Amino acid sequence: MRVTLPFITQLLLAATFCLAITVQAADLQPLRVANQKSTIKVLLEVSGELKDVPYDIQFSEFPAAAPLGEALNAGAVDIGALGDAPYVFALGAGAPLKVVSIIHAEGRYTTAILAPRDSPLNDARDLKGKRIVTTRGSIGHFLAIKALRSVGLSTQDVQFIYLLPSESRILLDNGSADAWSTWDPYTTIATTQSQAKVLASGDSLLSNHLYLAATRQAITDKRQQLEDFVARVDRAYRWTNAHPQEFAAAQAQVTGLPLAVHLAVAKATHMQPVAIDDQVIGGLQTTADIYREEGILTRPIDVSQGFDKSFNAPRVQLNQASR
């Protein structure tokens, strides 16, 4: 078969282009990822998305959202995952952040207000005059506020006790708190191991979004790495929807929690990437406004400054290219 010169030229140009990409990839700066209890790292490892990464990913571990947000604010890391409420707090603290990716979590008890199984409480209306333990500024805290408002109550009608999740369950079990407002896997642990009852679920009260927020400096200096990274996270979460057993087993090895707990969460939770749009931004603005009304935030916040819509198109293109 006769090969024409133009075709050979095209091959040479393609080879040159690939070589240029390889050289460029070798020069990419490391991406510093804030990891809360190994969640993102395990997710990427088990789904195979840590293979053939053209830059170094440096994970830093954090026990909760608050210190993770502080690290982002200080520029100690480039990107990390935060829920609605913690992200509002980070913006309220003046953190130079922008959301570059959003994952929606739809599940049975992604967030919930729990009571002991023998408690006389049955729903949010019964919380009046009761003690609710939660983590200040967490998505559990916001769920409690929203649940109280939904039944005509306010935060003045209850007593909040602010503790970390590891301490909160103890108070619920020994009767020092009447209810616990928290999130998975703690909701699944309590409902499966202690048969705790659900007084209110965040399924209909919250957006249940997970925000991947990057520093403005990283967006400027590491745009290529960020675009690649968020596409890998998108693909990894889609993978978990089809492989709950494998994902649960990988999580159990890291957390030490029973496999059954992680499996229940994985099977009941569907993770779906969503675009950064005005509806999402408006939802987070509502969260910020409510915190301001409650006196938890000391000043009003325009959350629209904390999103970067320019990452929508690269996410779609990179995900389509991988199929």
- What is the distance between the alpha carbons of residues 274 and 283, in angstroms, rounded to a whole number? 14
- Calpha distance 287→102 (Å, rounded): 16
pLDDT of residue 48: 97
Name the percent of the chain lying above pLDDT 70. 88
Q: Which domains does the chain have, with CATH numbers?
A: 5-104+209-321 (3.40.190.10), 111-201 (3.40.190.10)
Strand, helix or coil at 189? helix
- Does an H or E element contain 25, and which? helix 5-26
Summarize the confidence of residues 185-203 as an average pLDDT: 90
pLDDT value at 227 more than 80: yes
Q: Across the chain, what does the average pLDDT equal?
A: 88
Q: How far is it, in rounded angstroms, from Cα 102 to Cα 230?
A: 9
The per-residue pLDDT for range 135-184, each reduced to its tens digit, is 888 889 999 999 999 999 999 999 999 998 889 999 999 999 999 999 88
Pick the more confident residue, 313 or 144.
Answer: 144
* Range of lowest pLDDT (90-94, 152-156, 312-316): 312-316
What's the CA gap between 322 and 104, in Å, rounded?
21
Render pLDDT for 254-271 as a digit per residue (tens, 0 to 9): 888 899 989 988 998 899
Query: Among residues 308, 321, 274, 315, which one has the least CA distance to residue 106?
Result: 274
Compute the average pLDDT of residues 119-139.
Answer: 94
pLDDT in the model for residue 318: 55
Average pLDDT value for residue range 192-220? 92
78 pLDDT exceeds 90?
Answer: yes
How confident is residue 319, by pLDDT bands cut at 50, 70 and 90?
low
Query: Cβ–Cβ contacts within 10 Å for residue 250, how many?
Result: 21
Token reading at 131? 């003690």
Token output for 78: 């480039």
| Across 267-288, average pLDDT | 92
Nearest Cα to Cα of residue 71 among 88, 85, 89, 90: 90
Which secondary structure element, helix H or strand E, spans residue 182, and what is its range?
Answer: strand 179-183
- Confidence at residue 322, expressed as pLDDT on a 0 to 100 scale: 54
User: What average pLDDT score do residues 298-322 get?
Assistant: 80
pLDDT of residue 320: 53
The pTM (predicted TM-score) of the whole model is: 0.81
Give me the torsion for CA of 160, 81, 258, 178, rounded to 10°. Answer: 10
Given this model, what pLDDT does residue 20 score?
Answer: 43
Q: What is the mean pLDDT of residues 188-211?
A: 90
Q: What is the pLDDT of residues 19-58, one digit of tens each?
A: 444 434 558 999 999 998 778 999 999 999 999 999 999 9
